[in-house]
Structure 1
Amino acid sequence: MFRRVIGVIMLIIGVVGLLIGIGGVYASSQFIDTMGERLDKALVLTSDSLNNLVSTLDVARSTLVETNKTMETVQQSLTGVGKTLSDTKPMIEQSSTIVTQEIPDSIEAMQETLPAIEQAAGTIDKTLSTLSSFKIEQEILGIPIGFDLGIEYDPSTPFDQAIADVGDSLEGMPETLRGLETHLDTTAENLDLMSQDMDQLSANLGGINEELAKLDPIMVEYIRIVNEANSDLQDIQAELASLFQTLKTVALVLFSWFALMQIVPLYLGYELVTGQRDPDQYVTEDELDEELAKTNQKQADTAVTGNDDAGEGEAAS
């Protein structure tokens, strides 16, 4: 009874092992195919992502190059503006000297001479009026004679009044012009500050432009690295089919071998259950030696008998 129980257990172990082997062949094939498809999709997605990254890096590099050129242009423009403002300051200072000092002094000098000019203008005006009215109309010997100097002078505003009006219009102008000195000086200072700010801004842009220029080789190196990684991924993707086919073959061999190994427990279990493997039917070692001795003795007797028969046959002949 115990042997039958052991036989049943061996049969169960063999059947389970056989099912595991057969199921392992199918499951491993399905698992490897699924993993291959997923890995292939992941590699394709990664390769597409790397291609997009390369495109993005190319766009970023082009943007950096264009920005670098733009910054150079802006820097040159700021440098030119700063120089223009710096060159304008002396002109403003010189204009300030002329407007706030020389012109007011000249106007004041003119104002001092205007009374004399006005007096002279009055005299000139009276003289011209007199000459304009000078005419001779007489008859000599019954012959009318008339002539004048050909001067026509009848201004709407007398000459001296015009000079006086000019003097009136110049009243307060020197003080007004001198009052512009503060504004012109402030303008000159502001121009100087603006020139310095432009120069500083130009220098800052130059520094930024240098840093941007350093980024270009870095971007080129990044693009090279990403392209190499993408190429390696494509090589791996090309080798995946053969790799997974090899894995499937290895799994098939291993699980087939495992299934074949279940023949032993199946065979032993079958013999134990059917009673074919009974220890009582097997002889002991001593009994085996006795049987071998008997067999050898029989063979020896048979050989002797055969020799005797052969001798008698020869004698009879």
Structure 2
Amino acid sequence: MFRRIIGLLMLALGLVGIVISAAGVYYGRQAVDSTFSGLDDTLVLATQGLDTAVDSLELAKLTLGDVNNGLDTVGEATLNMAKTVTDTRPLLDQVSVVVSQNAPASVEAMQSSIPALAEVAATIDQTLSTLSAFSIDEEILGVPFKYDLGINYAPEVPFDEAFEGLGSSLEGLPEELRSVDGNLSVANENLAAISDSIVAISADLDTINGRIAEVPAQIDSYVEIVDQINGSLETVRTQVTQQQERVKLILTFVLVWWGMPQLALVMIGWDFLFGRRGATAKEIREDVMEELEEEFEELRDNDDEKKE
């Protein structure tokens, strides 16, 4: 009787182990798919954010190109006026218009665009810093998984501060340009001095324009960096997909390996319940009948003892 109880217990434990192994394979693979799917979604979102940043940089580059062209035009016009003002006084009024109206308007247009450019630059800086710190260091079923993008982004001067510095260099310039009008009116009879002032202004515009002309090259370098990061993200996504299948295979192997002994436990329990391992059906039936006859005889003996 004790043998049958042990056999029943081992049979039950073995069956439960097999069920747990099968359920672990099914739900474990689903959990792995869910985990890696979330990681893939994060990488896709990062890629989309970088694409948006590239579009913003391209727009900023076009805006700076327009400002650069405008300042080129203003600088050339100012220089031409400075050359002709010494020869004819009527040109002084035209110089006054160019210097006190057109040039300040162009500089103010650029100043108004700098906050938006600085905001875009701050977003890019934050994105690049986040991607530089991005790494995965986890252990799944004893298997270490480590990923990083291989990006080291630590500029000496943040991108947004560079734009803000450019904006600071332009502060007060429109007012200075407008104040020239009054000076030109007062110095109408001193054309030589006015010509020198206009030449100096033209030089300032050339300096500012030279600084602005350097910005598109920096934007191109940032776009190239973002493109490289996008390529790295695509590589990481491919590697993640490959690792996903590997993790699922390892998980399946481990759970199946764990479930095989449970099958042996079921076989042993079955043997304890119904007889020798590998016995034929006839032998098992004979063993069961013998056990039943022995139990009936014990019951009869107990009844006889009670009657006596």
Shorter-chain TM-score range: 0.3 to 0.5
Structure showing greater radius of gyration is: 1
- TM-score normalised per structure 2: 0.46
Q: Which has the higher contact order (CA 8 A, sep 6+)?
A: 1
TM-score (norm 1): 0.45
